[in-house]
Amino acid sequence: MESIRTLPDDFSVLQNKSTYLVLGGLGFVGKNFLEYLIEADCFEKIVVIDKKLLKLNAYIPKSRLEKFDNPKIKFLQKDLSKEADVRSVFEEHGPFDYVINLAAETRFDLGEESHKRNTLLAANICGTLSAEYKVKKFIHLSTAFVYTSSSKPLREDAKLDPSRIQAKYSLAAERAIFRIPDLNYIILRPSIIYGQYDVSGHTTVSMAIALLYQLNNQKMYVLWDKDKRTNIIHVQDVVRAIMFALEKGQKGDMFNLSNEDNMTQDKLFEFFRKMFKVHIECVGKFKSHLVKLRFDSVIAEMNDKHMRWWFSACQKFEINNSPINVMVYREQLEQHDLCIDGSAIKKLGFVYKHPHFNEDDVKESLKYLVDQKYFPNIFGQ
């Protein structure tokens, strides 16, 4: 698998041997961020807090686990919503130069209490303790879904109107961070993130569902029209933006992160049409509104079909333990255009290394999933 650092960076922060506390460090973005730090060899110490265990359910290839087996990296399983747990980390493993908050609840099938605890409460506790223990900078990864739906690119001062439960609590977490005295914070709002280690994001799930329709010789119909905006950003650029914010960001800065494609759902599905030779059609607004009249039953029928197909595909391709969930949820199917202007950070000198989504990006994500036996290897037949 290709190294995360496809091109060298000249961030001055990479020349320093700093100490990092990475919250949610075994998630999708977290693993990529850790690999970046490891390959840059720019740290004195890294402490990672996550609810996962490194060798059991972090979805890291065995061939790459050795990278994380480093005496300067410590992995802790803690509850970030408990002040005593987090304080013990600062007391026993600090001090830290930087705290990187990548922790948030992203699942659609969990209730409000889980989102409140794992996103809002965790951010407030970790931010408050970061200020108390005088960290140099606190980077908080939020989401661009905090904005209102729009077909025109939104800047950082755009109207905030989150519709998804994850985004509602992400915005609440941002506002909690704003109110913490003496916290030197910077907030990043990425659009839909894709890339290696993604097992549950929009791109991976869409790719899996597209494959199911191909395997079952069925046409795939998608709600809303072709031009529905689904802006995206590569995880490598998210990681690099974190490092850039550590170097150039000032207290209270907020940056959108999004590539230059102004991606629509039809443009994204065109890659899957070509790769899997499957018919994918956006049905338009009129039919989509008709579907919404019986939304819950349609979703239930769809999920029943997807799960049966996925079970059969996993049996056929001898996949025993895939983390990919092919169920779809109401919030994912709503008419929300995610159209983000990610240019403000560029004015400070940041350069996107993945300004456009391409076939190589799809193949990179697919290779990881196939190699891990999470995804049917239809090309190996």
pLDDT in tens, 85-109: 999 999 999 999 999 999 999 988 8
Rounded mean pLDDT of the chain? 93
- pLDDT at res. 5: 41
Which of these, 58, 40, 15, lies nearest to 239 by C-alpha position?
40
Asked if residue 242 has pLDDT above 90, the reply is yes
pLDDT category at 58 given cuts 50, 70, 90 is low
The answer to whether 200 and 323 have CB atoms below 8 angstroms apart is yes
CA-CA distance, 232 to 352, in Å (whole number)?
12
Spell out the domain ranges in the chain: 12-194+232-261+338-354, 202-226+264-337
Share of the chain above pLDDT 70, in %: 96
Asked if residue 300 has pLDDT above 60, the reply is yes
Choice among 15-29, 55-69, 174-188 with the minimum mean pLDDT: 55-69
Asked if residue 285 has pLDDT above 60, the reply is yes
Q: Which residues pair with 22 in a beta bridge?
A: 48, 100
For the entire predicted model, the pTM comes to 0.94
- pLDDT at res. 225: 96
Choice among 66-75, 281-290, 340-349 with the minimum mean pLDDT: 66-75
Higher-confidence residue: 52 or 315? 315
pLDDT category at 362 given cuts 50, 70, 90 is confident
The answer to whether 349 and 253 have CB atoms below 8 angstroms apart is no
Asked if residue 3 has pLDDT above 60, the reply is no
Higher-confidence residue: 56 or 239? 239
Q: Which of 44-58, 209-223, 364-378 has the highest mean pLDDT?
A: 209-223
Determine whether domain 12-194+232-261+338-354 maps to CATH 2.60.40.1840. no
Which whole number is the average pLDDT over 317-344?
Answer: 94
